[in-house]
A and B are shown apart, each in its own frame.
Chain A
Amino acid sequence: MNPVLQLSVQDWLSLFSHFASLSLLAVGGAITTAPDMHRYLVDETHWLSESQFTSSIALAQSAPGPNILFVALMGFNVGLNAAAGLGGGWFSAALASLGVLLAMLGIMLPSSILTYTATRWAHQHRDKLGIRAFKSGMAPIVIALLLSTAWLLTISHNQPARDWPLYVLTAVTTLVVWRTRVHMLWLIGLGALLGGLGWV
């Protein structure tokens, strides 16, 4: 059982404000601010253990839905640590929910308000030259960013002698999705199966 954290109202507020302060810095996804979350939650406040931190990220990435949910899991774990873990019944559930709520509102509110206002404004002025130039200019860059992301994910497995089957799997997936209409869940399932059997 984890030692029970004593969190004051101020601590909860600071959980919210820390995520809120990272929100506007999260260009390219909230995961880019993960090192700072680690510094705050694990190193400074000790609200999360190392393994809770890493498994929050890993679980959100393997589950369906946007990866931003790793922030919800961090809030959830902080809440559980502040109660008595999963065994604490309704009290644990309440604190865990509070953690989810504060962490998610913190990371999402500032950036969402900015994005919503900015894109409304841009939509109203969509015929202005500057807006059209931004959209046209960014198009090739955004496409290159997608390809870079795929590339970086692939070469993060950096032992070709061992990892080549993964490269093949990525290449085959790329071709199949690019050229056919096979449902993506089949491919995800295939990847899980091949990986689970230890073939890739």
Chain B
Amino acid sequence: MSELVLLNSPRSKTDLFVSFTLLALQGFGGVLAVVQRELVEKKRWMTREQFVEDWAVAQVMPGPNVVNLSLMIGGRYFGLPGALAGVAGMLAAPLVVVLLLAVAFGGVSQEPWAQGALRGMGAVSAGLIAAVGLKLITALRHNPMGKPVCIALALATFAGVGVLRWPLFVVLLGTGLWACAWAYLQLARQASQTRGSP
């Protein structure tokens, strides 16, 4: 738990808004990778474990994942105004940028170089997402389900979504329910053990 001592938190709602604006403006092809690096590694507002937990919730709830995440983080520090500041930071400046682009270009240029640049950026953003996934694996170290079960669940999920291409909803119902049930049993066992041994 020594990690917790070192954590920072946003100074104000303005800090939250500005931080999220800067994150969002750096996020080409998805903001997640930037959020993970800035909030966990640089600003240290949260640990990897907390990030995984929050991301799990943001992903399971309906709505845009990154927006859900900024809502949750903002809300934790400053309640509803914080949640609004977080979401506004995440959306306002990028909205202006994207509308200006739409006015300037009408759409995405069909020129071969522009299409090529988008291909290249797409390949990079795939790599960014993969790197976040790999980094977060260390957050499983203290998972109460134990390593073999974590690996099995991860493999089953990857097979369902990545290989068999089942809808997310179906896979979550499958692996998610088992995982939560198993985690519940393990946590309950731990709790009864700590109660049993004074």
Contact B182 A137 (CB under 8 A): yes
What 0/1 readout, one digit per residue, does chain A (108-134) give for beta carbons within 8 Å of chain B? 101110111011101100000110111
B37: CB under 8 A from chain A? yes
User: Which B residues touch A56, using CB under 8 A?
Assistant: 107
A176 CA to B120 CA, complexed, in Å: 16
How many contacts A-B (CB < 8 Å)? 365
Is B145 in contact with A140, judged by CB distance below 8 angstroms?
A: yes
Q: Determine the chain B residues whose CB is within 8 A of the CB of A60 once the complex forms.
A: 98
How many positions in chain B have a CB within 8 Å of any CB in the partner chain?
108
Interface residue? A23 (CB, 8 A) = yes
Complex alpha-carbon distance, A191 and B23, angstroms? 19
Measured between alpha carbons, how far is A140 from B124 in the docked complex, in Å? 24
B94 interface hit (Cβ, 8 Å): yes
Check if B102 is an interface residue, CB within 8 A of chain A. Answer: yes
Docked CA distance A191–B158 (Å): 26
Q: Choose among A66, A107, A143, A185 the residue that contacts B137 (Cβ–Cβ < 8 A).
A: A143
Are A65 and B132 closer than 8 Å at their CB atoms? no
Given contacts A108-B63, A140-B151, A141-B179, contact A192 B129 (CB under 8 A): no
Within 8 A of B (CB), among A20-63: 23-30, 32, 51-52, 55-56, 58-63
Checking A64, A66, A141, A150 against B56 with a beta-carbon cut-off of 8 angstroms, the contacting residue is A141
Q: Is B134 an interface residue (CB 8 A)?
A: yes
Q: Please determine whether A138 and B108 come into contact, CB atoms closer than 8 angstroms.
A: no
CB 8 Å contact bits of B9-21 with A (1 = contact, 0 = none) = 0000000000000
User: Number of contact residues on A: which range applies?
Assistant: 35 or more
Question: In the assembled complex, how far is the CB of residue B181 from the closest CB belonging to chain A, in whole angstroms?
Answer: 8
Binary contact track B39-78/A, C-beta < 8 Å → 1, others 0: 0010000000100110111111111111110011001100
Interface string of A132-162 (1 = CB under 8 A from B): 1111111111111111111111100100000
Minimum C-beta distance from A135 to chain B (A): 4
Residues of A within 8 A of B156 (CB): 144
**Contact (Cβ within 8 A) A118 B61:** yes
19 contacts between A and B (CB under 8 A): A65-B97, A69-B95, A86-B106, A100-B95, A119-B71, A129-B187, A141-B172, A146-B136, A147-B130, A147-B162, A150-B129, A157-B123, A170-B124, A173-B123, A173-B124, A187-B124, A188-B124, A190-B120, A198-B112
Interface residues of A (CB under 8 A from B): 23-30, 32, 51-52, 55-56, 58-69, 72-73, 76-77, 86, 100, 104, 107-108, 110-112, 114-116, 118-120, 122-123, 129-130, 132-154, 157, 166-167, 169-178, 181, 184-185, 187-188, 190-198, 200
Residues of B at the A interface (CB closer than 8 Å) are 24-34, 37, 41, 49, 52-53, 55-68, 71-72, 75-76, 80, 83, 87, 90-91, 93-95, 97-99, 101-103, 105-108, 112-114, 116-137, 139-140, 143-145, 150-151, 153-158, 161-162, 165, 168-169, 172, 175-176, 179-184, 186-188, 191
